Amino acid sequence: MNPTIDLLNSHRSIRKFTDQPLPQGLLETLCGAAQAAATSSFLQGATLIRVTAAEDRATLARCAGGQSYVESAAEFLVLCADLKRAGNYCEKYGKAFEGDYTEQFIIATVDVALMAQNLVVAAESVGLGICYIGGLRNNPQEVSELLELPRGVYPVFGLCLGYPDQDPEVKPRLPLPIILKQERYNEDGDAEAIAEYDERIREYYATRTGGGHGISWSEQVASLLSEKSRPHMREFLAGQGFVFK
The CATH number that applies at residue 135 is 3.40.109.10
> What stretches of the chain show up as alpha helix (H) in DSSP?
3-9, 26-35, 54-63, 69-72, 84-92, 102-125, 140-147, 176-179, 190-207, 217-225, 233-239
What pLDDT digit, counting tens, does each position of 104-122 carry?
999 999 999 999 999 999 9
Task: Report the number of distinct structural domains present in the chain.
Answer: 2
In this structure, what DSSP letter does residue 164 have? B
pTM of the model: 0.94
What is the percent of the chain where pLDDT is above 70? 98
Specify the DSSP element, H or E, that contains 25.
none
pLDDT of residue 208: 72
What is the C-alpha radius of gyration for the chain, rounded to an integer number of angstroms?
20
The answer to whether residues 21 and 10 belong to one domain is yes
- Whole-angstrom Cα distance, residue 133 to residue 131? 6
What is the percent of the chain where pLDDT is above 90? 92
Residue 233 lies in a domain: no
pLDDT of residue 100: 86
Residue 245 lies in a domain: no
The answer to whether residues 164 and 183 belong to one domain is no
Confidence band (pLDDT; 50, 70, 90) for 212?
Answer: low
Q: What is the average pLDDT value for the chain, to the nearest integer? A: 95
- Whole-angstrom Cα distance, residue 243 to residue 100? 5
Contact 205, 215 (CB under 8 A): yes
What pLDDT digit, counting tens, does each position of 137-182 carry?
999 999 999 999 999 999 999 999 999 999 999 999 999 999 999 9
Residue 207 has pLDDT above 90, yes or no: no
Residue 211 has pLDDT above 70, yes or no: no
Give the residue numbers spanning the domain of 201.
171-208+210-226
The answer to whether residues 19 and 49 belong to one domain is yes
What pLDDT digit, counting tens, does each position of 20-31 carry?
999 999 999 999
Confidence band (pLDDT; 50, 70, 90) for 239?
Answer: very high
The answer to whether residues 58 and 141 belong to one domain is yes
Residue 182 lies in a domain: yes
The answer to whether residues 139 and 219 belong to one domain is no
Phi, psi of 66 (to 5 degrees): 80, 30
